[in-house]
Each structure stands twice: as C-alpha cells, then as structure tokens.
Amino acid sequence: MAKKGSRLREFEKNNRVLDITNTQQERQKKKSTGKKVKTGNPSEQGKKPLNLVKLVGIGVSLVFVMVVAISIKNIYDLKVRESALLDKHQELLKIEETLKLELENVNSDAYIEEQARKELKLIKGNELIFHFSDEPMKKDSKKDD
C-alpha cells in the first residue's frame, strides 16, 4: 500500500493543472512579504560569489584611497619643507652678501683700525679712554678717588 500512496502523490505532483493568474498572485504576495523561496534557478545561486566580489572590490578601493591619501599628505609635507628651506636659503644668501662686502673691506687700513678699537680696545699713543658705565650711580656708594 505504501507504493500506491507514493505513486499517487507523484502522479498528482506531475499532473497538476496550474492557474496562471493564481500563481502570479501568489508570487506577488511572496515578494511583498519578503519571503524568498529557494528554487533551482542558477541566477540566485550565484549571489554569494557576487557579494564576495563586491567585498573584494570595496577592499581594493579602500586600499587605493588610503594610498592616495598618504601620498597627498607626503606631498603637502614636502611642500612645507621646501618653503622652509627656500626661506633659509634666502637668509643665507643675505648673510653671504654681507660677508662678501665685509671681505672687500678687510684689507683696508680704516677697517683694521676700526676693528682694533672695537674688539681689542686698542688706542693710539696720545689718546685717553673714558669709560662710562650704563648703570646710574648710587648715592650711598663710596667714591674711589
């Protein structure tokens, strides 16, 4: 008897008469409720690898964005460093110019005499040096004469 029951079910399954309008309405109801019915449709089976491809694509694009952002930061840092070095270069050029002017005057007698008076505090034979302090004198201090 078991065989007859299984044969009957198989026969009914294979020889069903389907009403197209009822079937379309059932599908619309399933779509609206969000229930997914697994079918042997190969388009639905390929969704998992597609999601993996999307994730890999997103990962690659994030790495690319990070590389570009780091490159932009490095370029900005180099531009800042370049401007600082250009300022330093201009300053050194000014110092070089003043040193060249001083070098031209080094061998003149007037320059040698001026430096001897300033730096070494030398005087000529008939001159006197008067040294004045910048601090005001205190009234209570003792005078040394």
Q: Which of 85, 107, 89, 108 is nearest to 97 (CA)?
A: 89
pTM value surpassing 0.85: no
Burial class (CB in 10 A: 0-12, 13-18, 19+), 117: middle
What's the pLDDT score for residue 117? 86
Contact of 123 with 117, CB cutoff 8 Å: yes
Residue type, 101: L
Task: Check whether 126 has a pLDDT greater than 90.
Answer: no
Return the minimum-mean-pLDDT range out of 16-20, 35-39, 106-110, 119-123.
35-39
Query: pLDDT tens for residues 84-101?
Result: 999 999 999 999 999 998
Residue of higher predicted confidence among 39 and 106: 106
